[in-house]
Structure 1
Amino acid sequence: MDTGAGLPRDVDATRANDARLCDFALGGKDNFAADRTAALKLADALEETRYLLSEWHRFRVRALETLLDAGVRQFLELGCGMPVRNNVHDIVHARDPQAPVVYVDIDAVAVTHFLALLSSKATAATAVQADIRDPAGVLGHPEIAARLDFDRPIGVLLIAVLHLIGDEEDPNRIIAGYREAMAPGSHLVYSDLSGEEQPADQVATYVRIGEEVGIPVTMRGRTRTSQFFDGFDLLEPGLVSPPDWRPSGVSRPHTRWLLGAVGRKP
């Protein structure tokens, strides 16, 4: 995408957007010049960040396989971003084509692209535009209420999204809103940025660049992140660098920029 012509009213093509930045980083074409500039600026300053998306996506695949093995057959991805290879519905429907999957994002471009992708095939998945910071609004959305049964176990994914939500917006409250609606046997899949194992100057550089490109970033260490799993039992090996979460195969050295875990509601 090279211009903002024909875009939804609430989309500003002149400002970088995290979902479109990630799309560019993965070789996609659904991004604008501002997104490309921001992605290159970050990668040039901190080369290891080129591998963050790969770590996130591989973790998501392993986590979903674990949930499917546990019998979970409905999924809600919060802050889904742009479609990628091995989307949630691709992984889930390889095992159960009838399992409902709902994507949620505040960005109209991301939702539009998911809907276009899903409309080309018979699928039990859909996407809705909503603000994940409002759990009641999300859970009450007609498309979500019609497709997902919260009286049965569900997999809720929060991957690469909470770093966009500052502590002043109370992410504990947000997660609690979803947790309270989840039936026993449901799972929370989480991974996000943590600067805990990085030099302070590199963390400062990451945060500064985020502010410069208009994508403020909040990083959280192990102690803070563990609070998000109040009310859940962590699956082994607990809260770790995503490549260390039930690894399979060979991967490049870890970036150590991320933390990830899967919790089960008892």
Structure 2
Amino acid sequence: MPIDVTKPSLARMYDHLIGGASGYTSDRRACADLLDLAPRLRELAASNKAFIGRAVACLAGQYEVRRFLDLGSGIPRRPHIHEIARQARPDTHVVYVDKDPVALGQSRLILAEDSAAATVMCADIRDTDRILHHPRVRRLLQAGLPVAVLFGWVLECIPDEEDPWALVRGLVAHLPPGSYLVVSHLTHEDPEVRAEVGGFLGQTLGGDWGNIRRRGDVDRFFAGLAMVGQDTPGDVAGWNRGHPQPAPQCPPSGWVQYGGVARVP
């Protein structure tokens, strides 16, 4: 797949925000403009990565989860999801799903000599039929063991009119009982701020952007599921720092990397 280096990519921008070096000039410039609008986004990107790592370590170590589906996995940065999980469960397998060519290329390079640890799949996360019918994903689900589905900084790419809540419900419905949903989502309560920053990202990324959401909208992803590690969704920066604990207090306004971990009945 050819790479248009003149068009910023969310995967490369995110990688730049967490200290990676895979981006091009267009990505670095877009990040600089984004941080002028919302300086905290660099901190929140790091918070997202740290939360996903803690969630995987907890699910593998405490809940014996050996199967992970990482949707919108992005450009790999150590520690990788399969490395974190395999510290607790050496027989873990991870399926990484992304459509960014740089993310796919680097992931395949890392896993070239360890195909037992993980599989890399090229797909848009909205193409759930294709994902669910991939041979490795089918094997994960048919094994009957719990599967953890990870959404970190990716549900923002789906606009409301495409109903990301239905996408998540549809995937959860295919999971074996006792599986887990992990969501980390960028939020802000002020509609003007959401419109300004979201408008910039929409213009910059084109069809690869959806919405920054209110925290109440993110709560809907967990409807009908039992929260793990805190009583309700909350600021992911506080998740599993002394498990279990009540939901961290979020500021009444401002940027929050919001979400949590939930168990499928």
TM-score, normalising length from structure 1? 0.87
Determine if the alignment matches structure 1 residue 20 to structure 2 residue 19. Answer: no
Q: Which runs of 5+ in 1 are unaligned?
A: 1-7
Number of the residue aligned with 2:241? 247
Number of the residue aligned with 1:96? 89
Change (3 A) 1:221 1:202: closer
Q: CA offsets per residue over residues 171-205 of structure 1, 9 Å max, x none?
A: 12211221111111100000111112xx5554333
Specify which of 203, 210, 219 is matched with residue 194 of structure 2: 203
Determine the C-alpha separation between the residues in 2 that align with 1:140 and 1:176.
17
Number of residues of Structure 1 aligned to a counterpart in Structure 2: 252
How far 1:155 moved relative to its partner? 0.6
The aligned runs of 1:187-226 (5 Å cut-off) are 187-196=180-189, 199-214=190-205, 216-226=209-219
Query: Identity across aligned pairs (percent)?
Result: 33
- Structure 1 outlier segments of 4+, above 6 Å: none
Q: CA offsets per residue over residues 207-246 of structure 1, 9 Å max, x none?
A: 2321332253402223221221123112223210111222
Number of the residue aligned with 1:33? 25
Number of the residue aligned with 1:47? 39
AA aligned to 2:112 is: S
Q: CA offsets per residue over residues 78-117 of structure 1, 9 Å max, x none?
A: 0101101222111001112221111001222211110101
Determine the C-alpha separation between the residues in 1 that align with 2:264 and 2:140.
21
The aligned runs of 1:3-14 (5 Å cut-off) are 8-9=1-2, 11-14=3-6
Give the alignment's Cα RMSD to 1 decimal. 2.1
Determine the C-alpha separation between the residues in 1 that align with 2:142 and 2:32.
42
AA aligned to 2:77 is: V
TM-score, normalising length from structure 2? 0.87
How far 1:122 moved relative to its partner? 6.1
Determine if the alignment matches structure 1 residue 124 to structure 2 residue 123. Answer: no
AA aligned to 1:194 is: T
Contact persistence 1:195–1:220 (CA under 8 A):
yes
Q: CA offsets per residue over residues 118-172 of structure 1, 9 Å max, x none?
A: 1144642121101211222101012322455452211110111000110111112
Determine if the alignment matches structure 1 residue 263 to structure 2 residue 262. Answer: yes
Q: Which runs of 5+ in 2 are unaligned?
A: 243-249
Number of the residue aligned with 2:70? 77
Change (3 A) 1:121 1:150: closer
